[in-house]
Structure 1
Amino acid sequence: MSKRPTLADIATAAGVGIATVDRVLNNRAPVRDDTARRVAEAAEKLGYHALGFISARDKRSLPAMTFGFVLSKEKQPFYQNLAREIEAAVTARRDIRGKAKITFVRATTPEDFCSAIKGLSEQCYAVAGAALNHPQVTRTVAEAAAKGVPFFSILNDFAEPSRSAYYGMDNMRVGRLAAWMLATKIRQSGKVAVFVGGSRWHGHILRETGFVSYFRDNAPDLHVLDPFVNLDTRQITYEATLDLLSRHADLRGIYVAGGGIEGAIAALRESRPAGKIALVGNELTDDRRAALSDGYMTMVISTPLETLCRNLVDHMIKAVLGEPNLPTGPQILDPLLYLPESV
């Protein structure tokens, strides 16, 4: 086992006295910023066990930046997971003193999203969020951008051309993946259903389009029913699923393109044996993991949230600092696929 580095080792590597290292480590007296950084770099290189204290001392000289994030559905596990990853990505940065300010809209209306975006743009260096595709929202983002506040869309690409970039999955591809899984699992004629959150969620519409196009091209024996709008809610999805099962004896599969899939899971648990109806949804949560394990879900297509948040925060910082030649197009992430045998 290698010897733990000492204060003397750090002092030698940094070219300072032991007393200076002690002052930096224990914040006993003021130390010049360049000296504190030199000590921190030496400690990091040597793997000193108290580096966290030195870094905290050194971090005072770093630029302070507050970033705003607009999310919805505060009680949904997916958005709770996303909020945690955002906080972690901002906290992990060692080149700034970052703070994440997250606003959850109470209702998914254009007015609520606009209010949240406007409020955060007045307090933050840059803003990101998932919101509706709506002219009013686009105008609000354009107004923030005109004042020098970069805005990034996540999960659902909206507010073009004013937004700085989009971070998320290729939603058309996600829909085709869902269709491929259902067709592969079903392997017989019948009907399949698709739920979307609403017509203003462009990502859901793209998923529906990819879903329908796959069946048209590759599985014509499976008829896709007209899409059901569930407003991303459990109760509407639950009631609609029970209705579908009662009216369509040849229903073979369901894809929930947005939220609310817990309602479909509950309806299937009440009325069908596990595996009788193939079910695909998005974003892995505890409920969906359990449904995969029990055989009530066939596949979950999930956003790599850690990667999304890490890359997003990096881009936001660079935009604030005015770095040139930053990408402005969609920054597409590969989906994570979860099957019953992989959870």
Structure 2
Amino acid sequence: MAGRPTIADLAKEAGVSVATIDRVLNGRAKVREETARRVYEAAHKIGYHAAALIGQRMAADLPKIRFGFVLHKEKQAFFRDMREAAEAAVRAATGVQTSVEFAFASSQAPSDYAALIEELGERCDAVAAIAVAHLQVTDAVTRLEARGIPCFALLNDFAQGVRQSYVGLNNLKIGRVAAHMLATATRQHGDLAIFVGGHRWHGHELRETGFRSYMREFAPQFRTLDALVNLETRQLTYEATLNLLERHPNLRGIYCAGGGMEGAIAALQELRKPGEVSMVVHELTPESRSALAQRYLTMAVATPLDAVLTETVNLMIEAVQNGGNSLPGQQFLEPQLYLPESV
């Protein structure tokens, strides 16, 4: 196209009339969002000088939604990745003007999660959170919902019957997947250990239930030890794994149903050769990727963060615009399974 693109050039590229272009540019009459977006994309494509103005006109007419996210352990790689996925999902949202705010819980205390959820509820139109299952958290969600602020549970379900929806993995099923992998990979019969972050993490409890149900049904030759609470900390998991290896010389497998896997990996690297003890963990991090490559891990079950946060943001927009859901639900997404040969 020779010279500076004109309104006629833009109209031709967008497949609309010159009058429609004039309405988009000057806001003289309402233009459908789909049409305005087509004009905006065409303006960018041909280098029309008022493309930025068209974008501003579009944004001015869109409803504003403020998103709030409560996450856990700000310094952990997984939760940094989760924040980035949430930011990307909010940026990609169409049909609304968006802003997003994050808060991070520094402990597993229910009061901390409840306070952060309510704090974000004061400034946001919808809140999604990772939180423990506890009455204080349920009460906080109840107060938000009563004010018309929809709340969503991420990865770990809480406030069932009150929150809008749970978005994450099917944790009962994931526990059975982990059990199948350990039972299949372990060549000798013996003991199996489970680490959970705490008994208030509903998702960890479901993973343990699924794990044990599979073992009872298909691998009764293994003995599954009592679950160990590691508070999702590296050091506690490291010390507990050293103790397990000392007290249970026939330990054949470990399932880390939550965080803290780095400690178990370090203990195995000190005291066992690769593959002597099979281990399944959650999430693909630099540490778990390295351990898979070295054969200290049998499998890592990863959360599809992009899909989880995209689904959550879409549900948040729908709840804000439609006044919430009458029937709280669950949105299960498929996990990503990583083996030593797939990293």
Confirm or deny a common fold (TM above 0.5). Answer: yes
Given the alignment of the two structures, is residue 99 of structure 1 paired with residue 99 of structure 2, yes or no? Answer: yes
% identical equivalent positions: 46
Q: Secondary structure at the match of 2:138?
A: helix
Q: Which residue of 1 aligns with 2:45?
A: 48
Q: Which residue of 2 aligns with 1:116?
A: 116
Residues 55 and 94 from structure 1, CA distance in 2 versus in 1: closer, same or farther, beyond 3 angstroms? farther
Matches within 5 A, 1:38-77: 38=35, 40-44=37-41, 48=45, 53=52, 54-77=54-77
Which residue of the other structure, out of 6, 14, 17, is the alignment partner of 2:16?
A: 14
Q: Which residue of 1 aligns with 2:181?
A: 181
Given residue 219 of structure 1, which amino acid in structure 2 is its aligned partner?
A
Post-superposition Cα deviations, 1:289-329, rounded to whole Å, max 9, x if no partner, equal 11111111110111111111111111110110116867621
Equivalent pair of 1:85/1:306 in contact (CA under 8 Å): yes
Q: Secondary structure at the match of 2:55?
A: helix
Given the alignment of the two structures, is residue 233 of structure 1 paired with residue 233 of structure 2, yes or no? Answer: yes
Q: Secondary structure at the match of 2:252?
A: strand
| Structure 1 segments unaligned to the other structure (5+ residues) | 25-29
Equivalent pair of 1:175/1:211 in contact (CA under 8 Å): yes
Q: Which residue of 2 aligns with 1:218?
A: 218
Given residue 60 of structure 2, which amino acid in structure 1 is its aligned partner?
R
Residues 342 and 308 from structure 1, CA distance in 2 versus in 1: closer, same or farther, beyond 3 angstroms? same
Given residue 152 of structure 1, which amino acid in structure 2 is its aligned partner?
F
TM-score by length of 1: 0.90
TM-score by length of 2: 0.90
Q: Secondary structure at the match of 1:321?
A: helix
Distance 1:81 1:326 in 2: 32
Given residue 119 of structure 2, which amino acid in structure 1 is its aligned partner?
G
Q: Which residue of 1 aligns with 2:84?
A: 84
Given residue 18 of structure 2, which amino acid in structure 1 is its aligned partner?
V
Equivalent pair of 1:10/1:43 in contact (CA under 8 Å): no
Matches within 5 A, 1:307-326: 307-322=307-322
Equivalent pair of 1:230/1:237 in contact (CA under 8 Å): yes
Residues 204 and 50 from structure 1, CA distance in 2 versus in 1: closer, same or farther, beyond 3 angstroms? farther
Distance 1:154 1:19 in 2: 43
Please list every run of at least 4 consecutive aligned residues from structure 1 whose deviation after the TM superposition is greater than 3 angstroms: 5-8, 17-21, 30-40, 49-57, 323-327
Distance 1:298 1:277 in 2: 9
Given residue 220 of structure 2, which amino acid in structure 1 is its aligned partner?
P
Q: Secondary structure at the match of 1:167?
A: strand
Distance 1:312 1:19 in 2: 35
Bigger mean CA offset, 317-326 vs 151-160: 317-326
Q: Secondary structure at the match of 2:132?
A: coil
Post-superposition Cα deviations, 1:29-50, rounded to whole Å, max 9, x if no partner, equal x654746964542353687165
Equivalent pair of 1:255/1:279 in contact (CA under 8 Å): yes
Residues 325 and 227 from structure 1, CA distance in 2 versus in 1: closer, same or farther, beyond 3 angstroms? closer
